[in-house]
Amino acid sequence: MRRVMIVGQPGSGKSTLARALGARTGLPVVHMDHIHWQPGWVERTAAQKDRLCAEVEAREEWIFEGGHSRSYANRVARADLLIWVDVPVALRLWRVTRRTLTGLGKSRPDLPSACPERLRNLPGFWRFIWATRHSSRARIARLVQGAPPELRVVHLRSLADVRAFLARLPDQTTRQHDQG
């Protein structure tokens, strides 16, 4: 396992899984939100996001979590493992609420600095999660169904699935990396 693509809808636990998997494997973790956002909640252009995604995808090792479906085909072509974190919308809404309330005024590790959690963003984010719950899931399902046969796909539907997946992995944190 050298290149891991993690997808899922907002609040599914992609970032948390990526950090845990990175700690377990020693692979570098890239959060799409670092590419999507600049400090101060400034969104990058699509061209900037495409370029930054291509730079990550070209690396020899990565755990790349998050959206930007425009780059899914490139990531799938390079990945040797595709993980779909697919949990119920009610759980995702709860997680987004909890992380917002517990992190008010602070930036999460999966976001650039100066992107603090803000309560005023929560209602709009809830609406987005609710409005895209079917379309986004269908897009990810099509991605998974169309994955090349040689690509290992893991579909995690619960926290228990995530824990079991991580428990099955050997601890490789002592391996050496060529950080070029």
Q: What is the reported pTM?
A: 0.91
pLDDT at residue 179, as a whole number? 36
Domain-embedded: residue 145: yes
Least confident of 23-32, 52-61, 62-71, 160-169: 62-71
Domain-embedded: residue 9: yes
Domain-embedded: residue 22: yes
Number of separate domains in the chain: 1
| For residue 11, pLDDT beyond 80 | yes
Alpha carbons 56 and 35: distance in angstroms, whole number: 10
Q: Report the CATH number that the domain containing residue 29 is assigned in CATH.
A: 3.40.50.300
Q: Residue 62 belongs to what domain range? A: 3-167
Domain-embedded: residue 122: yes
Per-residue pLDDT tens over the stretch 118-156: 999 899 999 999 999 999 999 999 999 999 999 999 999
Domain-embedded: residue 17: yes
Domain-embedded: residue 133: yes
The pair of structure tokens assigned to 8 is 């899922």
Alpha carbons 110 and 15: distance in angstroms, whole number: 7
Q: Are 15 and 108 spatial neighbours (Cβ–Cβ below 8 Å)?
A: yes
